[in-house]
Each structure stands twice: as structure tokens, then as C-alpha cells.
């Protein structure tokens, strides 16, 4: 088995440009999906704590559905399934505006949002009820107590789990390549088929993914340290 | 809804077992085969990796930690492409997609299982180790006869969770044309062309039923184990955190 | 045997009044026909064996516990009225918990100014000034930027008292304020409470600290099994309790 490595392709600007576009695509996808995931996580967590049984049931169903179906299937369902159900005008608009990207980030964001909502829920449940009591005794409404006292503490507790899922969300952007979104893995396969320098390009994008994942994990640790509740 | 019933009626064989007996086996059977065999093979590897991570010898713990970090930092789909490329090179001959997928899953799962076993070991009260060493058991004997059995028992719910994850991971076999459930569904969709939503909702439902049932089993076992071990606060907390870790 | 002796006030109305109050936890009769009043500026100590319902009673005043029967009034407001703006009402009632319940993610000053800013709409600057003055009053001016986790139990409870005072309540309820403290820290908290009493604050305290009762209480209420059995002045209660259960309670207290 002889592999002759030729990394010269990385000095060629058009390939660098391609890889750059892919990397940018990955980062954009990750950022959008993350924003959606966090929004859903807070929404679902709030719904689960509401007094309405209907709200709770909807939230629980959302979480169960997204956690028990593979992310790839979610993406397919959005890109192939939901897209076909949309009215023609909307379909045209979406197709003209990078539909692979849109459906991919929706699928990833909603799915990981379910996991993050469970993290948040665990964090909220870990805050002793005496904190809520003390807030209510001071005259804070339930919403004020939740916003100013419970949630800030719950976020700190759930941080490690949420960071874990953030790294997972970032890695899972690679699944978008299956529907043709231009991100790092898609570009990797493109370059491979164009240059046949499989090992080199695989190595390069693996290093990039690994580097960014580790960066995210490190960044998460920094944040955890910053917001840590001070004890003696 | 009628559409979905029709799809099931026409294609249930394809979904369940692929083209068998008129062709290679596929569909749900392959999905379950991959995840079951995958986790069975990954388990001993995961235990070894966990023990290496916990080992006081740096020549064991550093590479093991590196392996776990690399596996957790690289997307599974990239892994699949790597294995698809490298394994035929190593063996000098072409390799079936299903084998590639199995190898990838084994390596990938073993890293996550290693973390679960490690959490289980670290969640045991230190008194267990002390007592074992006090009656004269060696490090290996302590580990294999006293600590591991308890750690693994405590981790059963997390391991089942990881099994559920591996069922979902098999869907990625689609990208290298492994004939598993998602691939079967995409074939059906390619045939029908006019009902993508129904096909994929059906696909989602099949995964949902299987994974939800297994998840319920894991939760039930977690409650049983937590009750049994009431008082050993460390073990239950370790179970809870490992279940969180493994839960994708 | 329920004795209701008002301390007459300027307008004659008591600060807190219980009339025919009953509470059940399922089958368990937690409060049984409580009739009593707390006058303005009075300091009431509520004591009794555990399970007697004293904590439950004090928690009904700001509706942390609901009641099934009877009337409770606080500063002229009907506590159980469905039309009551519960949040506005509670901001009016000072409450100090046994386990302090400070907010660990906020500094000491932020703990104190949270409710004035959020509930009373006070400007942060003036709330902060008042918070610092209150910290001085409880002897913790130096800890203004510390976090609860960095303080001792006694210090935390004093901050909790300052937090309650920040809302300018007409009365403060204390639910076993020193029971969770190490013995050497009980004194510093009691000192703050005694000072409050001397300044004329209406106080209702559930406590085992009998010396505190002797020094500043106007009346001692003794409860057992949900019934308010005695209401005496401290001297009467400690020297000559009228009921046998109170006798037994005092003996148990003295013997350990």
C-alpha cells in the first residue's frame, strides 16, 4: 500500500477558494441552526412548565419526536417532504434562495433544540423550589421570578450539557451535504472527485472539523468559568 | 393517510428486509443488524478504552484520551468516508458498504461507550476499590471482578441509550449506499416521486416506534436501578449524567 | 383556649388577624380554628413542638399556604380574597425563611435591590443607595459586593432580613430564622431582630429562642397539633403556663 501524498493542491487558489466556501457554509449553517436550537430550547422549556396540559403535551411530543428519529431523516423530511407540500410560489422562492441550506438548518436547529430543551429542563428542575418561594414572597410574579431568579441559575447548571450539544450541532452540519448544501463535507467530496487526492483533502477537512470542535469545547469551558456562581 | 397505508402495503417487504430473498438483504433488518452487532463489538473496545483512560500509565491514558477526543470531534459522516477510503487500501481489495459501515460504527460507538463506562467507574464509591485492595486483590482483579461489573450494571440505561443512538446512526449508511432502512425508503421515494412527504413520514414513524420503545425501556431500567441503589448517591448521579451524554 | 387581646393602635385595627382559620392537608387537620390578632408594633413569638402548625400558620399570612376556611387580614386587606393582587400584596409583607433562600447568582446588594426595582419600579440608583444603608443597619456594609456563597449562615440571614426590609413592609414574618444556623451565629441574627423590635416593627416570629421571647416579645403563642392553645405575656408563659402541654413543652426545652 503506497500512498503518495501531494499537498500541493492546497496552494492552488481555486481549491482554497472552494474549501473556504465550504468552511464558510459550515459556519453559517452552524450559527443559524444554533440560534434556532436555543430559541426552541427556551420555548419548549417554558411550555413544559406552563399550567396548560395541552402546552405540556405538545412540548413533550416535540421532544420525543425529535429525539427518536435520526437527524438525517429529519433533514430528508424537510427537504423532500415538506418542500413538496408547500404552495408553488413558496417553493419557487425557496429554491431560488438556497433551499438546501434553509431546510438543513431548520432540520438541525429543531432537532438539537429538542435535546437542549431537555438540558434546560434538567437545569430548571435542579433549582430548589425555595428559590421560587423566596421570589414570590418578595412579590415577584411567576414570570419575573422565572426570568430573574430561576432561569439564570438553571442556565449555569445546564451549561455543560448545552455546550456538549452545541459541539454535536456543529458536527451535524455535515449531514447537510446529503441534500446538496455547500458546506465543508460537500466541498470535500467535490474536491476528492475533481483531484482524486482523497487522503489529503480528507485529512484537511478532518483537521478543520477537529480544530473547530476543540475550539468550541474550549470556548464553552471559558464561558462556564465566567458565569460560575461564586462560592467561598 | 391512505397514501401511507398504500405505501406500506406495497413496500413493506422492501422496508423490512430489502430485496431478500431475491437480492441482498436490506431495510430494517440491516439497520438492526448493524446497530446490534456494532454495539456488541464496540463494547469490549469501549471497556478497554475506558480502562486506558483511567489508567495511571500515561502511555495508555494519553492515546486513549486522544482517540476519544478525535472521535467526538469529527462528524460521523466524515468517519464513514474515511473508512470507505482506507479499509479497501489496507485490505487491498474492495469492501462491501455494509462492512465499512460496521467498522465505522464499532470505532465510533466504542469512544462513546468508553465515556459511559468511565462515568460508571468514576461514579462508584472509592470504598469499593479500597475494600478490594484490602483483601489482597490485584489491580486487574479489582477492576474486572469488583468495579466493572458494578459500573456496567449501573450504566445499563446509558448503554441502552447509546444503542438507540447507534440505531439512528445507521441511517448514515445511506451516503455510501448501504442497504438499510433509510436507503430503502429513499428507493421507494425514487420510484413513487409524487409522495415524498408520506414516504419520509413513514420512515420517521418506523424509527420513532423502535427508538421510543427502547428509550422507555432505558428509563424504566434507570428507575429500577436507582431504587435498588438508593443510598449510593454517586452511582445514580453518574447514570443520569451518562444518559445525558449518550443521548444523541 | 384562644385569647385575642389587641394592642390598640392609632386607628384601632390590628395588623394581622386570624378568624376561624382552618387548614387541611388532605385528611390531616393542620390548623384548627385559629382566632388571634397581632397589633401594630407588637412582637409575637409562636412556639410549640414540631408538627404543631406554627410554620404553617405564619405561611398563611402571605398565602404561601392557602386556607380552606376562615379569614385572615393583613394591614386591612383580606388575604384570601380572590380579587387580591397577590404579587402587590406579597411585596407588602416581609418574610424571612429558615434557610435564608438568598439568590446565589446575585451579589448581596443585588439580592436586596431586586424586588424594589422589579416590583416597586424603583430606580436602580436609589434602590442601591437604600440597599447599602440597609446593609449598614444589619452590620454588613463591608460585604456589599460579596455573593451569598461567600458568606456565613449568620451573615446570609442578616442579608435576608435586609432584603425583606427593602420593601418597607409594615410587618415582618420570621419562619424559624435561626434554626438552620450554627450556634455561634444565632446571636448576630437575634441582635438584628431585637433592634427591629425596639424600633417598633410589627413582628411575628416562629422560633425556639426563648431568651429572645423573654427580651422583646409582647406575647407568646403556644401551638400544638394545629390548635392555638395559649396566648400569654412572656413572663406568664415561662413561669406559669396555663396548659399541661405547654408545661411539657417547656420542660423538654429546658432539659436539653
Question: Is B113 in contact with B162 (CB distance < 8 Å)?
Answer: yes
Summarised one tens digit per residue, pLDDT across range C64-91 is: 999 999 999 998 889 988 888 889 899 9
CATH assignment at residue B121: 1.10.3720.10
Helix (H) or strand (E) holding A55, with range, is: helix A53-68
Q: How many CA atoms lie within 13 A of C142 on its CB side?
A: 4
Residue C8's pLDDT is what?
Answer: 43
Distance of CA A17 to the CA centre of its chain: 25
A188/B207 touch (CB, cutoff 8 Å), yes or no: no
CA angle in degrees (0–180, nearest 5) for A199-A203-A208: 155
A68/B212 touch (CB, cutoff 8 Å), yes or no: yes
Summarised one tens digit per residue, pLDDT across range B99-157 is: 899 999 999 999 999 988 888 888 888 888 888 888 888 888 888 888 888 888 888 88
> Distance (Å, rounded) from C-alpha A162 to C-alpha A169?
10
Summarised one tens digit per residue, pLDDT across range B204-213 is: 999 999 999 9
Question: Considering only CB atoms, which chain A residues are within 8 Å of C102?
Answer: 134
Residue C12's pLDDT is what?
Answer: 66
Residue B233's pLDDT is what?
Answer: 52
Q: How many CA atoms lie within 13 A of A29 on its CB side?
A: 32
Residue B247's pLDDT is what?
Answer: 45
Q: Which residue, C69, C72, C32, is CA-closest to C171? A: C72
Residue B244's pLDDT is what?
Answer: 54
Summarised one tens digit per residue, pLDDT across range C116-166 is: 999 989 999 999 999 999 999 999 999 999 999 999 999 999 999 999 999
For A188, the closest chain B residue by CA position comes to: B78
Of B81, B174, B201, the CB nearest to A72: B174
pLDDT at B232 over 70: no
pLDDT at C10 over 50: no
Residue B14's pLDDT is what?
Answer: 77
Locate B92 and state its grid cell: 487491498
Helix boundaries (H) for B55-195? 58-73, 76-91, 97-123, 126-134, 139-141, 148-169, 181-192
Range of the structural domain that residue B193 is part of: 2-247
> Distance (Å, rounded) from C-alpha C191 to C-alpha C212?
9
Summarised one tens digit per residue, pLDDT across range C186-198 is: 999 999 999 999 9
Residue B241's pLDDT is what?
Answer: 55
> Distance (Å, rounded) from C-alpha B175 to C-alpha B183?
9
Angstrom CA distances, C38 to A104, C167, C194, stand at 66, 20, 17
CATH code of the region A25-225: 1.10.3720.10
Question: Is C108 in contact with C147 (CB distance < 8 Å)?
Answer: yes
For A137, the closest chain C residue by CA position comes to: C90
> Distance (Å, rounded) from C-alpha A177 to C-alpha A26?
10
C64/A137 touch (CB, cutoff 8 Å), yes or no: yes
Backbone angles phi, psi at B81, to 5 degrees: -65, -40
Chains that touch A (3 or more CB pairs under 8 A): B, C
Q: Omega into B21 within 30° of 0, i.e. cis?
A: yes
Residues of chain B with a CB closer than 8 angstroms to some CB in chain A: 69-70, 72-78, 81-82, 85, 89-90, 92, 164, 167-169, 171-172, 174-175, 182, 186, 189, 196-201, 203-204, 207-208, 211-212, 215, 244-245, 247-248
pTM of the model: 0.80
Taking CB atoms within 8 Å and a gap of at least 24, the contacts of A123-131 are A123/A153, A123/A154, A123/A155, A123/A156, A123/A157, A123/A158, A123/A161, A124/A45, A124/A49, A124/A150, A124/A151, A124/A154, A124/A158, A126/A154, A126/A157, A127/A153, A127/A154, A127/A157, A130/C97, A130/C99, A130/C101, A131/C101, A131/C103
Task: Tell the burial category of C214 from Cβ atoms under 10 Å away from its Cβ (0-12, 13-18, 19+).
Answer: middle
Distance of CA C212 to the CA centre of its chain: 13
Confidence category of residue B240, pLDDT binned at 50, 70, 90: low
> Distance (Å, rounded) from C-alpha B94 to C-alpha B87?
8
Residues of chain C with a CB closer than 8 angstroms to some CB in chain A: 62, 64, 87-93, 95, 97, 99, 101-105, 114-115, 118-119, 147, 149-151, 163-164, 167
Question: Considering only CB atoms, which chain A residues are within 8 Å of C88?
Answer: 139
Q: Name residues of chain A where pLDDT drops below 70.
A: 1-4, 9-10, 232
pLDDT (average), residues C217-230:
92
For B243, the closest chain A residue by CA position comes to: A161
> Distance (Å, rounded) from C-alpha C12 to C-alpha B8?
81
Q: How many domains does chain B have?
A: 1
Question: Is C93 in contact with C62 (CB distance < 8 Å)?
Answer: yes
Locate A150 and state its grid cell: 430561576
For A148, the closest chain C residue by CA position comes to: C114
Distance from the Cα of B168 to chain A's closest Cα (Å) equals 5
Which of A106-115, B2-11, B50-59, B82-91 is the least confident region?
B2-11
Interfacial A residues in 57-116 facing B (CB < 8 Å): 64-65, 67-74, 76-77, 80-85, 115
Question: Is A228 in contact with A37 (CB distance < 8 Å)?
Answer: no
Domains of chain A by residue range: 25-225
Confidence category of residue B222, pLDDT binned at 50, 70, 90: confident
A206/B211 touch (CB, cutoff 8 Å), yes or no: no
> Which residue spans within A82-167 are E strands per DSSP?
none
Helix (H) or strand (E) holding C163, with range, is: helix C153-165
For B161, the closest chain A residue by CA position comes to: A68
Question: Considering only CB atoms, which chain B residues are within 8 Å of A84?
Answer: 196-197
Distance of CA A19 to the CA centre of its chain: 22
Task: ipTM value, please give it.
Answer: 0.86
Amino acid at each position: 500500500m503506497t500512498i503518495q501524498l501531494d499537498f500541493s493542491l492546497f496552494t492552488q487558489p481555486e481549491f482554497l477558494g472552494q474549501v473556504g466556501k465550504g468552511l464558510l457554509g459550515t459556519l453559517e449553517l452552524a450559527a443559524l441552526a444554533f440560534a434556532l436550537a436555543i430559541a426552541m430550547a427556551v420555548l419548549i422549556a417554558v411550555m413544559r412548565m406552563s399550567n396548560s396540559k395541552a402546552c405540556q403535551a405538545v412540548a413533550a411530543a416535540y421532544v420525543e419526536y425529535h429525539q427518536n428519529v435520526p437527524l438525517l431523516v429529519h433533514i430528508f423530511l424537510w427537504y423532500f417532504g415538506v418542500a413538496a407540500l408547500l404552495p408553488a410560489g413558496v417553493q419557487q422562492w425557496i429554491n431560488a434562495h438556497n433551499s438546501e441550506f434553509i431546510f438543513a438548518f431548520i432540520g438541525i436547529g429543531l432537532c438539537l433544540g429538542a435535546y437542549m430543551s431537555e438540558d434546560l429542563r434538567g437545569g430548571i428542575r435542579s433549582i430548589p423550589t425555595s428559590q421560587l418561594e423566596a421570589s414570590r414572597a418578595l412579590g415577584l410574579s411567576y414570570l419575573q421570578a422565572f426570568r430573574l431568579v430561576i432561569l439564570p441559575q438553571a442556565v449555569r447548571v445546564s451549561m455543560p450539557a448545552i455546550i456538549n450539544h452545541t459541539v454535536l450541532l456543529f458536527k451535524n452540519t455535515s449531514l447537510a451535504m446529503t441534500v446538496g448544501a455547500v458546506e465543508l463535507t460537500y466541498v470535500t467530496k467535490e474536491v476528492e472527485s475533481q483531484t482524486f487526492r482523497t487522503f489529503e483533502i480528507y485529512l484537511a477537512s478532518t483537521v478543520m472539523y477537529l480544530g473547530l470542535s476543540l475550539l468550541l469545547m474550549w470556548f464553552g469551558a471559558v464561558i462556564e468559568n465566567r458565569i460560575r456562581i461564586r462560592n467561598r | 393517510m391512505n397514501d401511507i397505508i398504500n405505501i406500506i402495503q406495497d413496500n413493506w417487504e422492501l422496508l423490512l428486509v430489502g430485496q431478500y430473498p431475491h437480492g441482498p438483504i436490506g431495510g430494517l433488518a440491516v439497520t438492526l443488524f448493524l446497530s446490534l452487532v456494532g454495539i456488541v463489538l464496540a463494547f469490549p473496545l469501549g471497556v478497554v478504552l475506558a480502562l486506558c483512560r483511567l489508567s495511571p500509565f500515561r502511555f495508555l491514558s494519553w492515546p486513549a484520551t486522544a482517540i476519544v477526543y478525535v472521535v467526538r470531534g469529527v462528524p460521523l459522516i466524515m468517519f464513514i468516508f474515511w473508512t470507505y477510503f482506507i479499509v479497501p487500501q489496507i485490505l487491498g481489495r474492495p469492501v462491501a458498504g455494509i462492512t465499512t459501515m460496521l467498522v465505522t460504527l464499532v470505532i465510533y460507538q466504542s469512544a462513546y461507550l468508553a465515556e459511559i463506562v468511565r462515568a460508571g467507574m468514576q461514579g462508584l464509591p472509592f470504598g469499593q476499590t479500597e475494600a478490594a485492595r484490602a483483601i489482597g486483590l490485584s489491580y486487574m482483579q479489582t477492576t474486572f471482578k469488583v468495579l466493572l461489573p458494578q459500573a456496567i450494571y449501573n450504566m445499563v440505561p446509558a448503554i441502552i441509550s447509546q444503542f438507540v443512538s447507534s440505531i439512528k446512526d445507521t441511517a448514515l449508511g445511506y451516503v455510501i449506499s448501504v442497504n438499510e432502512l433509510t436507503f430503502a425508503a429513499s428507493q421507494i421515494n425514487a420510484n413513487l416521486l409524487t409522495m415524498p412527504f408520506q414516504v419520509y413520514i413513514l420512515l420517521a414513524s418506523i424509527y420513532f416506534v423502535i427508538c421510543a420503545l427502547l428509550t422507555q425501556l432505558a428509563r424504566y431500567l434507570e428507575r429500577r436501578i436507582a431504587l435498588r441503589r438508593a443510598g449510593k448517591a454517586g452511582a445514580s448521579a453518574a447514570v443520569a449524567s451518562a444518559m445525558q451524554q449518550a443521548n444523541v | 383556649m384562644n385569647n385575642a387581646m389587641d394592642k390598640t393602635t392609632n386607628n384601632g385595627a390590628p395588623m394581622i388577624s386570624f378568624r376561624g382559620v382552618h387548614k387541611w392537608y388532605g385528611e390531616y387537620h393542620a390548623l384548627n380554628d385559629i382566632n388571634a390578632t397581632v397589633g401594630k408594633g407588637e412582637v409575637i413569638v409562636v412556639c410549640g413542638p414540631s408538627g404543631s402548625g406554627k410554620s404553617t400558620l405564619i405561611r398563611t399570612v402571605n398565602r404561601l399556604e392557602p386556607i380552606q376556611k376562615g379569614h385572615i387580614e393583613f394591614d386591612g386587606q383580606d388575604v384570601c380574597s380572590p380579587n387580591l393582587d397577590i404579587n402587590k400584596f406579597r411585596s407588602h409583607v416581609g418574610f424571612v425563611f429558615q434557610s435564608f433562600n438568598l439568590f446565589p447568582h446575585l451579589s448581596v446588594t443585588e439580592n436586596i435591590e431586586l424586588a424594589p426595582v422589579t416590583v416597586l419600579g424603583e430606580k436602580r440608583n436609589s434602590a442601591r443607595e437604600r440597599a447599602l444603608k440597609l446593609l449598614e443597619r444589619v452590620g454588613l456594609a463591608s460585604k456589599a459586593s460579596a455573593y451569598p456563597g461567600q458568606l456565613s449562615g449568620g451573615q446570609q440571614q442578616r442579608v435576608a432580613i435586609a432584603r425583606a426590609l427593602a420593601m418597607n413592609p409594615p410587618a415582618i414574618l420570621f419562619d424559624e430564622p435561626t434554626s438552620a444556623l450554627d450556634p455561634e451565629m444565632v446571636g448576630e441574627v437575634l441582635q438584628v431582630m431585637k433592634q427591629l423590635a425596639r424600633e417598633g416593627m410589627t413582628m411575628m416570629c416562629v422560633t425556639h429562642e426563648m431568651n429572645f421571647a423573654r427580651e422583646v416579645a409582647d406575647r407568646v403563642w403556644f401551638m400544638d397539633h394545629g390548635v392555638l392553645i395559649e396566648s400569654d405575656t412572656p413572663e406568664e408563659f415561662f413561669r406559669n403556663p396555663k396548659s399541661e402541654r405547654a408545661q411539657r413543652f417547656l420542660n423538654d426545652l429546658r432539659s436539653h
